[in-house]
Structure 1
């Protein structure tokens, strides 16, 4: 089953979120039926995005949980995962580093995630394992966060998930999602963070049981690390990967400084678009916090740009082809599918995530429900080539 992440909808309250689902799911199903998509051989997966306000509303408004469960059953849809990365507004105004606030040094982040876990335990069927909430990689590098405080909250969170398991029989996990410029953002940084956490945990076995990684193919495309490398390394160090998000980064291979002008429409002011530049003679890309910073550096160093590779954290729809000479990084999604094929006991939650729909150039936009259905169908057909899921 492939889920789609509902952070594509500009919804913050529970009423807005549910209205988006009621409007979107029939249209998505219509397209999947029209295309005779193999995705319809399983329930429709919904990767629910709930803001802190929406989560509070859903838990406190009388009868809303039961209404949601009934609606999911009527539409043969399942929530196996919740996106708990963005705490508040995610679509209006300047988001950028604010999406990392509050971070895991705060009670607000713990309380928010606790609500999401309780919602997930109440609305998701027993047979789906694991049930997972994705969250930020602790904090942002700019915040110089106190790791001891993060570890204390994450340790307590694992205790909470263990209690829910004892009460309900459901196995819940939280997937920390490495992102460029996050508190940890690459393969070995993730390993170091998890090992430090386990070394101070009161019950490290609960860390192993309930805490893992959410792997986003766009993020690691920007970091220049292949799926084989990251997924193999985490397996070797006993770090569970609980969720994989299929998404595309934006890529430009520079043949002349004039090529950079094609990136200007993507330097928008809502989201962070972390950018890496790999120069021809280097093995390690330079990482910039946002696309405008990378373009400013490139304009100061035109003599070294020929043959360089830019990768930008800008979720390009799966199956979409950006204007040449721009490319996408879909080959990393294919590499993940191959990894799944060769590791049949590896069963993370699978999700497509393209939240940048409202800031995409017009040439990359289509009807939002058609786009979502297309992404689900694209990945399901790839996965169905192999008998492993």
Structure 2
């Protein structure tokens, strides 16, 4: 979906396909023909943006086979889908029975992470629409927080410097501007905006490497959007892309009804880091007994933005709304790429029963976001 900002520039809204389990080309094409096509029809839009997730083996194949890449292009065109952004955070196995901390491997100290990202750069340069101002790839915030050291940090810095050089070469040779965005996440080396802004400062003003702002992660850390955007502005770090999502929230963890409902979200597949306001945090929902329960909790569980959880649980759509005002509500957008990333549909207490229900849920989120963008003065392009 495309929107025209009052300044005349185009803001893209897509949904992230990491909600789908396919990791090979046939599977990805099937998901485009199926769920993605259904989402577009539900929304009744001429073109739907999809933020593709490509597992490492498929990224390698697409980067090195024109036949494979053409098959993907044909599937996108056939279903009136476009790609301006890729999710380069998960490497593989994102729909294994248990994902947990595996999602942070390989990290940015390992050559496999850079190789994978460079494959994505090559693929996106080919998929990017001719009229798109740039393409974006989100990636993990270096690594899980332990183990970490100056030596590992230096290795990650070297990898990003090499990446920056390659991005500049791609732009010079193809005219395609591809940007990579580090996505802060609870529990990682870079989990809060000030940490990420500090690490990214060497790239400020050079614009090919910047930040992916996930509004769920921002909320889980109890960061205030106004403060986060002020920190980024002072550091000169650009928001390359934003994943517009909501976290699970428990205002009163001492409420037995809230704890009973919260237990329904404790599932083994994904990591659900939990933070207590003004206090410590734990790395998953099954550890919340270590928290005091004297202040509100926020949980890294991406919940549908358009459908509030059962009371007394709530979600952090207020943080999302405020973030959107900063991102696209000003005189000029701070980013032109917005991506809905609710990958947890399959593990929700009331999960969709089939592809049609999933498509309706994804379309519902995008429609909710569309309403917010129009309310901020953007005009949907049809």
With normalisation by structure 2, the TM-score equals: 0.90
| Contact persistence 1:322–1:364 (CA under 8 A) | no
2:155 to 139, 149, 172: 149
Listed one character per residue, the Cα deviations across residues 48-106 of structure 1 (whole Å, up to 9, x for unaligned) are: 00010121232344512122223323333210000000001001222111100000001
1:182 to 188, 208, 229: 188
Alpha-carbon distance in 1 for matches of 2:63, 2:160: 22
Question: Following superposition of structure 1 onto structure 2, how do residues 39-78 of structure 1 map, counting pairs within 5 Å?
Answer: 40=45, 43-61=47-65, 63-78=67-82
Q: Which moved more, 1:331-340 or 1:239-248?
A: 331-340
**Equivalent residue number for residue 261 of structure 1:** 260
Listed one character per residue, the Cα deviations across residues 303-323 of structure 1 (whole Å, up to 9, x for unaligned) are: xx34x2010000101111211
The answer for unaligned runs of 5 or more in structure 2 is 3-12
Alpha-carbon distance in 1 for matches of 2:147, 2:23: 25
**Equivalent residue number for residue 290 of structure 1:** 284
**Equivalent residue number for residue 121 of structure 1:** 125
> RMSD of the TM alignment (CA)?
1.9
| Contact persistence 2:32–2:79 (CA under 8 A) | no
**Equivalent residue number for residue 136 of structure 2:** 132
**Equivalent residue number for residue 281 of structure 1:** none
Alpha-carbon distance in 1 for matches of 2:279, 2:352: 27
Measured after TM superposition, the shift of residue 43 of structure 1 is 2.8
Alpha-carbon distance in 1 for matches of 2:40, 2:188: 36
**Equivalent residue number for residue 244 of structure 2:** 246
**Equivalent residue number for residue 322 of structure 2:** 335
- Whether 1:358 aligns to 2:346 is yes
Alpha-carbon distance in 2 for matches of 1:186, 1:86: 20
**Equivalent residue number for residue 235 of structure 2:** 237
Q: Which moved more, 1:66-75 or 1:244-253?
A: 66-75
Q: 1:22 to 1:296 in 2, by over 3 A?
A: same
Alpha-carbon distance in 1 for matches of 2:184, 2:333: 23
| Contact persistence 2:242–2:335 (CA under 8 A) | no
**Equivalent residue number for residue 374 of structure 1:** 364
Measured after TM superposition, the shift of residue 193 of structure 1 is 1.3
Measured after TM superposition, the shift of residue 27 of structure 1 is 1.0
Which of the pair is proportionally richer in helix? 1
- Whether 1:319 aligns to 2:331 is no
> Tell me, what secondary structure is at the counterpart of 1:342?
coil
- Whether 1:13 aligns to 2:24 is yes
Alpha-carbon distance in 1 for matches of 2:143, 2:221: 17
**Equivalent residue number for residue 8 of structure 2:** none
> Tell me, what secondary structure is at the counterpart of 2:299?
strand
Q: 1:338 to 1:48 in 2, by over 3 A?
A: same
| Contact persistence 1:136–1:176 (CA under 8 A) | yes
| Contact persistence 1:130–1:242 (CA under 8 A) | no
**Equivalent residue number for residue 177 of structure 2:** 171
The answer for unaligned runs of 5 or more in structure 1 is 34-39, 199-203, 279-283
With normalisation by structure 1, the TM-score equals: 0.88
| Contact persistence 1:82–1:134 (CA under 8 A) | yes
> Tell me, what secondary structure is at the counterpart of 1:140?
coil
Listed one character per residue, the Cα deviations across residues 264-312 of structure 1 (whole Å, up to 9, x for unaligned) are: 121211111000111xxxxx3422111112x2214xx4xxx34x20100
Measured after TM superposition, the shift of residue 3 of structure 1 is 0.5
Alpha-carbon distance in 2 for matches of 1:191, 1:149: 18
Alpha-carbon distance in 2 for matches of 1:70, 1:165: 24
**Equivalent residue number for residue 348 of structure 1:** 336
Measured after TM superposition, the shift of residue 354 of structure 1 is 0.3
| Contact persistence 1:126–1:169 (CA under 8 A) | no
